[in-house]
Amino acid sequence: MPDNAPKPSTGVAPEAIAKSRVLAEALPFMRRYAGRTVVVKYGGHAMGDAAVAAEFARDVVLLRQVGINPIVVHGGGPQIAQMLDRLAIKSSFVDGLRVTDAKAVEVVEMVLAGSINKQLAAAITRAGGLAIGLSGRDGHLIRARKAMRVRWDPATGKEEHVDLGFVGEPDMINAHLLETLAKSGIIPVIAPVGFGADGETYNINADTAAGAIAGAMRATRLLMMTDVAGVLDGEKKLLQHLSPQRVQEMIADGTISGGMIPKVETCLSAVAQGVLTLARWCSQTLGQLHGQVWRLSHPLVGAYRLGSQLAHDRQIWLKRLVSIPAGYIEAPCCRAPLLPLFTRDVIANGLRCHHCGETCVPFEEIPEAFRTRFERWANQYEEAHQVAHWDDKQRRKSKDYDAAFEDAAQDAEKLLIEAATELMPPLLESYPAVIWEDQDECLEVRPEDVVL
């Protein structure tokens, strides 16, 4: 074929191929986040381009179509500034927050809850979704309190309180309303205008509102869309990761300033709300476990195990983000509430910590009244357990290894039942709750085989 001959057509437009490739790459993430909530803060500056706004609307609809529950919180700073200039109303900013007087707050509500909110909801609906525009005043969605800022005055060397006027901070989010909309397949588009205790209107920073909503909804992701690259260091290089401590340092030295301050503070607040929610759940679940002997395979124990692993990674107990529940004492291994796990290797490892897996009560520190019985039980169990690990010589010597294996499995079942019914209950005199291992994979003893 000559070089200048037209190339055969595949019949598929390049744009369609590109979209297919993106969808193929996104499929694992779609599966991971199916049924989860994602809060998207759509910045006022990012809203200036009509083509970008239309593309954003299509992306939001796609999230809903693949089973994700998107919640959109929008800003409108540039549009508010234009309207204030048109009406000759002056405004100023403190740490990225617009100082809002009585006249300005009327304009803010008109722009945010009126034109911008309805335009964005309509764009998402045109793209194939079902969106509804709300302000924080609708359905008591966002109750707010007056926001105050403390600023250091270098002239006097003292801190001063700055009155921001009708600027508010979220005090309560009506999560039930948002959950009801999500169950109905509706995409909420929220203008960050809240109501006060006396019915007054508050202008809320969109970043702050999005973070509060993400925390209240236990969102899996909080996405902050804007027209800036992100947080830059002193050399104007983009930072991919930041710790809470580093954020505070960068705010203090001025590296993070202006409108970026509420953005990073919102991210920290959303993370903190998620951590505190986990901490409260762990504390409540420990209350449910209190006073009983539990199988390791029990669903409540399994759920707590997963939560406690995350709590351990976030250092919830180490940092004392929540108090140890009444009746529990501190485990010496990780400072978590002492929740001992009894296993067949109790002689070698004592009682294990259900939080970190380390020894929380060495065998020699177990109350003396129990040690003799534990030692006898553990030796008998080890004898049965070893059958699963016989070498070829030992198997041949037994003549019928299958029968020996079955006998060992039955012995293990009986010993596990003895542990649950005789050895564990007395431990409740020393510990608030106890968990016992109720299976043996080597001997093919399943939890359902251990019938109490």
Where a domain ends, among 227, 242, 277?
227
Residue 315 shares a structural domain with residue 202: no
Rounded CA gap, 80 and 166, in Å? 15
Q: Are 312 and 217 part of one and the same domain?
A: no
Q: How confident is the model at residue 256 (pLDDT cuts 50, 70, 90)?
A: confident
- The verdict on residue 279 lying in a domain is no
Residue 233 within a domain: no
Backbone dihedral angles phi then psi of residue 103, each to the nearest 5 degrees: -70, -40
| DSSP at 271 | H
Beta carbons of 317 and 332 less than 8 angstroms apart: no
Model pLDDT for residues 37-54, shown as the tens digit of each residue:
999 999 855 676 778 888
CA separation for the pair 190, 185 (Å, rounded): 16
- Give the pLDDT mean for 142-165: 73
Say yes or no: 190 and 299 in one domain. Answer: no
Last residue within a domain, chosen from 180, 198, 227 = 227
Of 59-68, 263-272, 293-302, 361-370, the least confident: 263-272
Tally of structural domains, the chain: 2
Give pLDDT tens digits for 317-335. Answer: 777 767 788 889 888 888 8
Q: pLDDT tens digit string along 207-222?
A: 889 988 988 888 888 8
Residue 160's pLDDT band (boundaries 50, 70, 90)? low
Q: Is residue 93 located within the same domain as residue 213?
A: yes
**Which tokens is 378 given?**
């553990």
Look over the chain and give the mean of its residue pLDDT values, rounded to a whole number: 84
- Contact criterion met (CB below 8 Å) for 197 and 146: no
Residue-wise pLDDT tens digits, 335-353: 889 999 999 999 999 999 9
Are 29 and 165 found together in one domain? yes
Structural domain contains residue 281: no
Q: Please report whether residue 250 resides in a domain.
A: no
Task: Note down the domain range covering 426.
Answer: 290-449
Q: Nearest Cα to 121, choosing from 83, 75, 72, 77?
A: 72
Q: Any idea which of 70-74, 171-175, 259-263, 394-398 has the lowest mean pLDDT?
A: 259-263
Residue 360 covered by a domain: yes
CA 80/CA 301 separation, integer angstroms: 52
157 pLDDT tier (thresholds 50, 70, 90): low
Instruction: Choose one of 188, 211, 227: the last residue of a domain.
Output: 227
Asked if residue 5 is part of any domain, the answer here is no
Asked if residue 35 has pLDDT above 60, the reply is: yes
* In a shared domain, residues 62 and 180: yes
